[in-house]
Structure 1
Amino acid sequence: MMTNLFSVFDPSTSILNLSLNWLSTFIGILMIPSLYWFLPSRYHIIWNNILLTLHKEFKTLLGASGHNGSTFVFISLFSLILFNNFLGLFPYIFTSTSHLILTLTLALPLWLSFMIYGWINHTQHMFAHLVPQGTPPVLMPFMVCIETISNIIRPGTLAVRLTANMIAGHLLLTLLGNTGPSMSYYLIILLLITQILLLVLESAVAMIQSYVFAVLSTLYSSEVN
């Protein structure tokens, strides 16, 4: 039962055994050409305002020690995840962010690059992070273990949080949709209203999760400077 239930998230469209589902990750690129219009569209103006707000916020999170232009990495990350989350809400479009293979691909190299940079250039600062300020000497060994474990699982928590949130909403929509044929007319109306409300909720989750992923990545980056 569970295998069939989760099989809706498996890649299924293929040509010559090459999966075409992952091409949905690049559909967001189709929205970029409008940026090159001589007169900017409303979409362009709104999107620019969003990116400018994010740039200011990420700049604040990174602090004065952050490198110039580093916010654009996190803004690009936010844009990629947001496009994929939103496109996954449309029928017959594969939700790539509901798979750990994509979310871990985003989270693991980011975290690894932060750790390598921090331990090579700011070794003393990284050691100081393992023991929070004001920790009693007796608890220091335990705090080092706890902080080390919490640091190691960061890419996993980033990836699983995004994947779980994407799967949960889609799975609920799928389960409710499958009960439609066996329902009466009045219950189907109630089901449609519920589905619309869940779709609105999923749209909010798509925005929130992309924002959370980008903000947490920014905070992890600011810790190594």
Structure 2
Amino acid sequence: MRDDLIDLLWEGLRQTLYMVFWSSIFALAIGLALGVTLVVTDKGGILQAPKLNKVLSFVINSVRSLPFIILIVLLLPFARWVVGTTLGPTAAIVSLSIGAAPFLGRIIENSLKEVGAGKIEAAKSVGASPWTIIFRVLIPEALPALVRGMTIAVIGIVEFTAVAGAIGAGGLGSLAIRFGYQRFREDILFATVVVIIALVQGIQWTGDGIAKAIRRRRFTPE
């Protein structure tokens, strides 16, 4: 093991965690808005608007259909406008957030649609407003599924950071490519893979634990 391995791994992990954290926050905010809008504007929804639903669904499917590496390139001018540069972890957050949001929006949509119609009708019968139904019925009832979906999305963002590393985003992906592959450093390549696997396993374990804790506390035990 060379002396610089630990320092390189630490810097790569730090950049990756920075990108994953902020991208997850922004993607969750956008994805939650998309998912809720898709559900409430669908046919039979509490704020049904079929035309809006179809347009939004088309936009989401269009973004999701693009390979992430192409999406990054398309968003480079937007990233430069937002953060003033197209290089580095901060610039990558823009593309990561936009790339993950439609995927997360679909996950949230499916989770919210699992909530029983009877609970929504019961809320309507007592005069609950649409906002009350969304924040007091839909989201709380679907919370365990939402946590599991968010876990999947965060793991996807970790994978996206590896792709973003190929165009100068930094992080573990960039470390594996620039040092491990291009400079024939098998030790870095292997160590990077191990760290990424450990990171993904940690995220999955944490997400599963939170979802189970919520279900045990608020619903029936698994």
Q: Which has the larger radius of gyration?
A: 1
Higher share in helix: 2
With structure 2 as the length reference, what TM-score do the two structures score? 0.34
With structure 1 as the length reference, what TM-score do the two structures score? 0.33
